[in-house]
Amino acid sequence: MTAQCLTGRHNDHDVYAAQCPCRGMLDLLANKWSALAIGALEGGPRRFGELQRHLQGVSPKVLTQTLRRLEDSDLVTRTIYPVVPLHVEYDLTDLGRSAAVPLGLLRSWVEEHLDSVDGLASGGCEPAAGRSAGAAVSLGLQSE
């Protein structure tokens, strides 16, 4: 499928074309931590520590890198409040909220179909704090 470039910066957008700039965005959104961070921000702004606690298993370094990439791609905003101690919040932009829709569908599909996929359903899933058991599924992937 090819889409016309509305900005005029490219001839068209085709994620199957090797040199298409779409590949960078696809790589960002297909990243486990990006998809989970976007989902965690769907409920509104969060501080770094809140995000890290919600995204069980992510290291501070990887979460920082993920949030920077999402901010650089205009999917997330970072707001610094000049108080002591420093208060920083992350929130989805309109573009980020639009990306959250298909990513939410993907997360739901994984949670609903995990038991049907051989090799991934081993081990138990403990719900994250404040979440239902069905929403805290381990994908069985290595942490980055």
Domain that holds residue 58: 22-116
Question: Which residues lie closer than 8 Å to 119 by C-beta, 6 or more apart?
Answer: 140
pTM attached to this predicted model: 0.77
Kindly report, residue by residue over 12-34, the tens digit of the pLDDT: 778 888 888 888 899 999 999 99
For residue 40, the model assigns a pLDDT of: 98
42 domain-assigned: yes
136 domain-assigned: no
17 domain-assigned: no
Q: Can you tell me the distance from the alpha carbon of 65 to that of 56, in angstroms, rounded to the nearest whole number?
A: 16
The DSSP-derived string for 113-143 is: HGGGSTTT--S--PPPTTS-GGG-----PPP
104 domain-assigned: yes
Kindly report, residue by residue over 81-131, the tens digit of the pLDDT: 999 888 999 999 999 999 999 999 999 999 998 888 877 656 666 665 555
Kindly report, residue by residue over 59-78, the tens digit of the pLDDT: 999 999 999 999 999 999 99
CATH number of the domain at 73, please.
Answer: 1.10.10.10
Note whether 98 and 74 are within 8 A (CB). Answer: no
7 domain-assigned: no
9 domain-assigned: no
Q: Can you tell me the distance from the alpha carbon of 93 to that of 75, in angstroms, rounded to the nearest whole number?
A: 5
93 domain-assigned: yes
Kindly report, residue by residue over 79-93, the tens digit of the pLDDT: 999 998 889 999 999
For residue 21, the model assigns a pLDDT of: 83
11 domain-assigned: no
Question: Average pLDDT, whole number, for the chain?
Answer: 83
Q: Can you tell me the distance from the alpha carbon of 138 to that of 116, in angstroms, rounded to the nearest whole number?
A: 14
Q: How many domains, in total, are found in the chain?
A: 1
